[in-house]
Amino acid sequence: MPLEFGLWRVDDKPVRVATRPMRVEARLEELIEADPEILGRPLLLIGRQVQTDHGKFIDLLGMDAEGALHVLELKRDRTPRDVVAQLLDYGSWVQDLSNEQVREIYGAYARRRGLAEELDEAFALRFGGSPPEALNSTHTLTVVASEMDAATERIVTYLSSGYQVPLNVLFFRHFEDEGRSYLARTWLIDDGEVAVASTGTKARGKQEPWNGTDWYVSFGDEPGSRSWKDARQYGFVSAGGGDWFSRTIRSLPVGARVFTHIPKVGYVGVGTVAGEPRPFVDAVLAVDGESRPMPGLPLQGSYRPDSASTVPEPVPEGDTADRREWIVPVAWEQSVPREAAFWRPGLFANQNSACKLRARFTIEEVSRHFDIA
């Protein structure tokens, strides 16, 4: 039985608001684009009338906070079989979109609408953080309709519930009351019950390509701990307090370029790894052209000694007893004080002490800010 619901104006007594033919159905696409919140789920629109490789055009393409893609197709006056078949065809194309192709789709859409041209920045403005490294790992398909017929309901429910196809219907109803127009919405199937399709392309195609050189480093500059002033003056990055914290920074290879970020502050330096990682007590740094043992330097920070065997703060489950501070020598190309850190929405940030930096937007923006080729 097709979905139906009513709307009442409540003054002295309930008065049912009249349902009217959806004269604005042709405008639904524009209304959704103007305010995606009308969909009832947080989405970033990344494309409108997106041409597929099969010569068809997707009405609207969106992305959620997890980087999953959402294909939105208006039913208009097509038969249930036609609109569902069209969506399935779109899904077969969308599932193979790579990270770069998704970014190209958004870039073309942003240029047409005069929006922030980089997906990273638009994503951060919409969701409050940088996008996940893997985009389009899943996708969903949605029919947007102003009228729900029994055949569409049967087909969608059958495919979604019986065969786990990520398909749903967003049903709008149009009301008019004293010269004003209203839209009400509901989903055919509860969001939690709709399958989410994993994409078929290999995972690496969903990530931005790595240039083989650039790494991200998170430097925890906190009172009573390591000091960015030390790191900047003597040329190093470090991490410690447990294997979980130091493991990734110990993987930095000599010759890697590191983009160094202080959490919740911003990017403060770019340099090249100049030596192998070593525990603090064994670390040797180049100071004024001379090799100096790090423990003998006048340091402002406090670095965990080798003998630290008990730590008052909790550490992640499964962590080892190695609490040493690991030091990685770095030749700074550009560095600034903490107070002059660089940040803008969309820049990459990660909880790991170090990881491969794939975010092209971050590499380009930080390099431009620090005037690095």
Determine the pLDDT at residue 241: 85
Sign of the C-alpha dihedral computed for residues 272, 274, 278 and 284 taken in this order? negative
* Both tokens assigned to 309: 């065997």
pLDDT digits (tens, 9 = 90+) for 135-169: 999 999 999 887 777 888 888 889 988 788 899 98
> 316 pairs with which residues across the strands?
none
Determine the pLDDT at residue 123: 95
Determine the pLDDT at residue 75: 84
What's the pTM? 0.79
User: Whole-angstrom distance between the N-terminal and C-terminal Cα of the chain?
Assistant: 63
Determine the pLDDT at residue 343: 97
Residue 157 φ/ψ, nearest 5 degrees: -65, -40
Q: What is the mean pLDDT of the chain?
A: 87
In terms of DSSP H, where are the helices of the chain? Answer: 28-34, 80-94, 99-113, 119-127, 150-157, 163, 228-234, 243-246, 360-369
Determine the pLDDT at residue 116: 79
pLDDT higher than threshold 90 for residue 45: yes
Determine the pLDDT at residue 59: 94
Count other C-beta atoms under 10 Å from residue 288's C-beta. Answer: 5
Exposed e or buried b per residue across 122-160, where buried means at least 16 C-beta atoms within 10 angstroms of its C-beta: bbbebbeebbebbbbbbbbbbbbbbbbeeebbebbeebb
Sign of the C-alpha dihedral computed for residues 122, 123, 129 and 133 taken in this order? negative
Between CA 92 and CA 72 the distance in angstroms is 14
Mean pLDDT score, 174-181: 81
Sign of the C-alpha dihedral computed for residues 17, 18, 23 and 28 taken in this order? positive
pLDDT confidence tier of residue 320, bands split at 50, 70 and 90: low
Mean pLDDT score, 87-98: 95
Q: For 137-281, list the strands marked E by DSSP.
A: 138-145, 167-177, 180-187, 197-198, 214-218, 236-239, 257-262, 266-273, 278-279
Mean pLDDT score, 99-124: 93
Task: For residue 226, count CB atoms less than 10 angstroms from its CB and return exposed for 0-12, middle for 13-18, buried for 19 or more.
Answer: buried
Of all helices (H) and strands (E), which one includes residue 58? strand 57-63
pLDDT higher than threshold 60 for residue 292: yes
Helix (H), strand (E) counts: the chain: 9, 19
pLDDT-above-90 percentage for the chain: 55
pLDDT higher than threshold 50 for residue 307: no
* Both tokens assigned to 51: 């041409």
Of all helices (H) and strands (E), which one includes residue 131? none
CA 94 from centre of chain = 18
pLDDT higher than threshold 90 for residue 28: no
Q: Which amino acid is at 78?
A: R
Better-scored residue on pLDDT, 133 or 331: 331
Better-scored residue on pLDDT, 273 or 373: 273
Determine the pLDDT at residue 309: 36
Determine the pLDDT at residue 119: 95
pLDDT confidence tier of residue 227, bands split at 50, 70 and 90: very high
pLDDT higher than threshold 80 for residue 24: no
CA 345 from centre of chain = 12
CATH number for the segment(s) 13-206: 3.40.1350.10
Between CA 159 and CA 366 the distance in angstroms is 47
pLDDT-above-70 percentage for the chain: 88
Determine the pLDDT at residue 153: 83
Contacts of 67 (CB under 8 A, 6+ apart): 131, 132, 134, 135, 136, 137
DSSP string, 283-319: -EEEETTEEEEGGGS--SS----TT----SS---TT-
pLDDT higher than threshold 90 for residue 231: yes
Sign of the C-alpha dihedral computed for residues 94, 99, 100 and 105 taken in this order? positive
pLDDT higher than threshold 80 for residue 313: no
pLDDT higher than threshold 80 for residue 83: yes
**Could you say which DSSP state residue 261 is in?**
E
Determine the pLDDT at residue 310: 37
Report domain extents, the chain. 13-206, 214-308+319-369
pLDDT confidence tier of residue 195, bands split at 50, 70 and 90: low
Lowest mean pLDDT among 28-32, 200-204, 264-268: 200-204
Mean pLDDT score, 327-350: 96
Determine the pLDDT at residue 1: 46
Determine the pLDDT at residue 321: 63
* Both tokens assigned to 232: 């900047």
The most confident of the ranges 151-165, 229-243, 302-316 is 229-243
